[in-house]
Every structure is written in C-alpha cells, then in structure tokens.
C-alpha cells in the first residue's frame, strides 16, 4: 500500500422499520456518515444482515422501533442469527443505537445494550431515542414522518461516528 492510499473503515448500519420512522432515522445517519471519505457505509435491513457482515465491519449502528416495550421481532431475529457466529470476535469495536418509540424506547435500548455487552462492543454515544408519540392502534400502525430536528440528530450522530472511526478514536 502506498502512502497516499486511504485505509477505509466500514460502518455497518443494521435496521428494522415497518412504519418508516426507523428507516428515516438510519438513512439520516447514513447521510451524515457518508461525509467521511475514509469510511464505507453499509446499510442493511435486519433480514439481510448476518454474522459475516458484523465480522467485516469496524463499527455498528443498530436501529429498531420499540414494539411492546422490546426491540422489533425482525431485529431480534438478526441478533439471534448473528450472536454466536460473532461472539468473541467483535471485542472492543464501537457501536451506537437508535430507537423509534411511541413513548419511551428505553427498554429496546437496554436490550440492544445487553446484546452489545455480550459481544463486548464499546458504546460511543447514548442511545438516540426518537419519540413519535403514537399511542392509539391507528397512530402506531400509520406511516411516520420524522421531524427535521430529529433527522438532524441522526445526521450528527452518523458524522461524528464516521469521523471518530476514520481518526482511529474508536
């Protein structure tokens, strides 16, 4: 490798979204992260991602809606399918999480933090929890539009994560 070549890092973004809020947030995060030329951003739905994707990445963002005070089922499926295939091979790598919730989001954030602890990942930011305030069955199931201020928080997190990854801070 010559001195002018950039060693690219990979930031893996894994998400599940049914009503659109979580997808809007992870795409905002990806926009922020792509501003760093030394970082390749890989965006995968939870159903498409697996342990090999984790093993080939340098950092992670996990994004999910909170359903019934827990991470979405398809996100849980990703963790179930990937956990043992990546165990003891991700130690020390950085991660962040995003939760879109109707009211709280803290239980889903705690679940992802426990999984990340098992993988010995290093949290680089507090969970980004976006509250949609959807409370009725109709509101919960309806397509969502995330507020620009919340999308900006996602972009900021993505940019900060990618910058830190490129600098070797994480």
Q: Which of 1-5, 28-32, 132-136 is least confident?
A: 1-5
Question: What domains are there in the chain, each with its CATH number?
Answer: 9-167 (3.40.50.360)
As a whole number, mean pLDDT of residues 113-124 equals: 98
The confidence score (pLDDT) of residue 5 equals: 58
Q: Model-level pTM greater than 0.85?
A: yes
Bridge-based pairing of strands 59-67 and 70-71 is antiparallel
The confidence score (pLDDT) of residue 6 equals: 64
The confidence score (pLDDT) of residue 67 equals: 93
- Which region holds residue 93: left if phi is over 0, alpha if psi is between -120 and 50, else beta? beta
Q: Does residue 165 register a pLDDT over 50?
A: yes
Question: Which band of pLDDT confidence, cut at 50, 70 and 90, is reported for residue 9?
Answer: very high
SS3 65: strand
Question: Which band of pLDDT confidence, cut at 50, 70 and 90, is reported for residue 54?
Answer: very high
- Paired strand residues for 97: 62
For 132-154, what is each residue's pLDDT tens digit?
Answer: 999 899 998 999 999 999 999 99
Q: Does residue 2 register a pLDDT over 70?
A: no
Bridge-based pairing of strands 122-123 and 70-71 is unpaired
Question: Which band of pLDDT confidence, cut at 50, 70 and 90, is reported for residue 1?
Answer: very low
Angle at CA 122, nearest 5°, toward 112 and 88?
85
Q: What percent of the chain has pLDDT over 70?
A: 96
- Paired strand residues for 63: 15, 98
């Amino acid at each position: 490798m010559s001195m002018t070549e950039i060693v690219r890092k990979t930031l893996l973004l894994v998400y599940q979204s049914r009503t659109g809020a979580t997808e809007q947030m992870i795409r905002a995060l990806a926009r922020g992260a792509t501003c760093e030329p030394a970082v390749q951003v890989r965006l995968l739905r939870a159903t498409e991602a697996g342990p090999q994707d984790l093993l080939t990445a340098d950092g992670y963002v996990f994004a999910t809606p909170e359903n019934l005070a827990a991470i979405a089922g398809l996100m849980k499926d990703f963790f179930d399918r990937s956990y043992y295939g990546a165990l003891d091979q991700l130690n020390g790598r950085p991660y962040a999480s995003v939760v879109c919730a109707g009211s709280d989001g803290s239980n889903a954030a705690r679940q992802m933090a426990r999984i990340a602890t098992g993988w010995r990942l290093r949290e680089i930011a507090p969970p980004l929890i976006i509250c949609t305030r959807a409370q009725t069955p109709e509101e919960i199931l309806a397509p969502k539009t995330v507020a620009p201020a919340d999308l900006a928080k996602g972009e900021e997190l993505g940019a900060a994560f990618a910058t830190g990854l490129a600098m070797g801070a994480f």
